[in-house]
Structure 1
Amino acid sequence: ETKLNNISPFKLASFLPPSVMSFVHLDAMGASGGILTAWNNNKFHLKQSLWDRSVSAQFDCCASSLTFWVTNVYEPNSEADRDNFFQELFDLQQIVTGPWIIAGDFNTVRSADDRNSGRVTTTETLRFNNWLHDMQVQELPLLDRNYTWSNMQSTPILTRIDRVFFNTDWDLALPNSTLHSLPRCTSDHFPLK
């Protein structure tokens, strides 16, 4: 979640390494949202990109014959908007061929373990887990952290709302994929790599 509109190369250079200057993005809506996919042209070639409520990009790897998809998401907080969001990803699944990874802020949890308070609503967790089952994706486990978001208060609310999922083709092509967090700078989310 960038929370930014009209990302320029100058702004991008303020928080990404110099080698990463190509990007596709979806502007924020007010003070929330905004999605950015950025890459190094010496390592990946963009074949195509699609965006609506998410940003999807198909890449060719310059060092091999691998072609893969990356979809970055920022799921709406509104229950009414979530059905449209889920439908968009179902529709995208019909277009995507080969390895595919879906990553980002899902603004929802899978179980009570995903909140330090342990409080969840059954409809929230069922909707998310049913969607994952229907999409036939697996979660890439986060290896070094239980929670990915904090309200930054003295008695914090902690949740695991940032996640990465992958399809079977991704697992076959890249079976040793791992997920770790990066240091948090200014965001209320921990970045993942």
Structure 2
Amino acid sequence: MSKISQLIDHTLLAPTATATQIDTLVQEAVEHGFKTVCVNPAWVSRARRAVEGTPVGVCTVVGFPLGASTTAVKVFETTDAVTNGAHEVDMVINIGWALAGQWDDIEAEIRAVVDAAGSQALVKVILETCLLTAEQTAEASRRSVAAGADFVKTSTGFSKHGATVEAVQLMRETVGPDLGVKASGGVRTPEDLARMVEAGASRIGASAGAAILAGSTI
């Protein structure tokens, strides 16, 4: 297991994913020593059974990919994910609230998800930075810290574009040295990964983890 592999959430969030593909994802994660497999909620139980006895964790998504479900639904999704064995939960904020400046609502929702996860799962907050201004990204990051989240995350990978160096730098500067920062979406090469880590990312979400690891010299 390498230091590099432990940065990577080995990800398959396509709606077309099959059981066979999820099993392969887990096998690759175990083989390469990735931090987690990141799968849609329907696959959490299967992935959890498959990682038993290995160091690989299971990550899933909440309010994904739009972030526009109600807080109650996001809380239920979180509780369900934890019950099914998720170790980490990546939740999407309500983008419309961010654009309208409803920061107290965003903070309250994040806190509700954090409370639902309890001590059983880490919570990463997906900001979808490609839809936000720098000021909005910074405020969303501050609210994530205030609500008790464990990470801020750039992107779902399903919007206009994924992680950028500039967004990762801003998020790291805002949250300080201790909170996690996850760069996700568009990280496909060793060079991409290196740039994100240099900018301040402590976790990488990628579907190309095996290829990245094969060519990485970090």
TM-score, normalized by the shorter chain, greater than 0.5: no
**CA radius of gyration, larger in:** 1
RCO greater where, 1 or 2, for CA within 8 Å and sep 6 or more? 2
Normalising by structure 1, we get a TM-score of 0.41
Between structures 1 and 2, the one with greater helix share: 2
Normalising by structure 2, we get a TM-score of 0.38
Between structures 1 and 2, the one with greater strand share: 1
